[in-house]
Amino acid sequence: MTSPNPLTKKIDLVVTGAETELDRTVIDEIGDPLVHLLRNAVDHGVESIQDRLASGKSDTGTVNLRAFHSGNHVFIEIEDDGAGIKPQKILQSAIKKGIITQEQAASYSDDEAIQLLFAPGFSTAEVISDVSGRGVGLDVVKSKITSLGGNVVVYSTPGKGTNFSVQLPLTLSIIAAMLVKIGSEKYAIPLSSIVETGIVKNTQIRTIHGNRMIEFRNSHIPLLSLSKFYAVPDFDESTEEETEIVVVRKGERLVALAVQDFIGQNEIVIKNLGKYLPEVQGISGATILGDGQVALIIDPNAFIK
């Protein structure tokens, strides 16, 4: 009688957002990293049938593959309902492999420990298998995503599961955007991120725990001043009786951005800021308008944590 295969597991794969569009060049490059993350979720994330039943879970694990647009980025999340990641186990493995020292490990927080999964040469696989990718580390996955101008972050709750969140640029040359004015500057906000535009009176703005909030659809959302964030010298919204706002979304989270005036919708060509400029928070690129003026393209994701 042969012993059962340790990788024998029941898995439900749930795909949402399959219609999400990406630039063909990104699709061609991102396939292998996504397959690796899916294999990782099946092999490392979801427990064996025996372990799941022993912990009070159903015998079938669930792996969610979600994709959605936010601004001129696409987010792809791979989430399992497995055992989660134990930070101490990662630290012990990293020390054993010489990635960090015992002294360094003592100063690591749980989140910092989990990010060590992406360190070169790191693997927690106790059994190297065809499913997990024969020992190919997550550092290869991260380097590929980074080379595309993206980022990958892992979140985990012990006993509940693990979520790998991949952020990728659309890299489409043309997007639909709302052009807004703040002082003498013009900015473009991707239409795919905008929920609503409107006007709020200053009497409708509340301050809660030091943060400005407005009521929106039976809840309160933060109100952020773009003129203050970008230090626009020739506009002070505090002198206005009313404030124009753009409500933007990242997933289920919302935030209102205060602007001076709306110029209108337009199709714009994205230009990268270039390697000579440092990464500017809240800016994902620039575009040249019909009058020759440069408008910076706002990345709404930077304002939603």
Given a cut of 90, is residue 193 above it in pLDDT? no
Specify the pTM. 0.57
Contacts of 45 (CB under 8 A, 6+ apart): 61, 63, 80, 82, 83, 161, 162
- SS3 label, residue 178: strand
* 188 in any annotated domain: yes
* Domains in the chain, number: 2
Last residue of a domain, one of 169, 193, 227: 169
* 5 in any annotated domain: no
Per-residue pLDDT at 266 = 87
Same domain, 23 and 107: yes
Same domain, 180 and 128: no
Same domain, 182 and 252: yes
H-state helical runs in the chain = 24-40, 49-54, 87-96, 102-106, 110-115, 138-147, 226-229
Same domain, 194 and 51: no
Same domain, 158 and 217: no
Same domain, 224 and 121: no
Same domain, 253 and 290: yes
Q: Containing domain of residue 79, as a range?
A: 10-169
* 4 in any annotated domain: no
Last residue of a domain, one of 151, 169, 187: 169
Same domain, 178 and 163: no
pLDDT in tens, 84-141: 888 888 888 888 888 888 888 889 988 888 888 888 877 644 444 433 333 357 888 8
Q: Give the CATH number for residue 206.
A: 2.40.50.180
Determine the Cα–Cα distance for residues 128 and 135; give it in Å rounded to an integer: 6
Tokens of 293: 């003026």
Same domain, 158 and 29: yes
Please give the average per-residue pLDDT across 207-219, as a whole number: 88
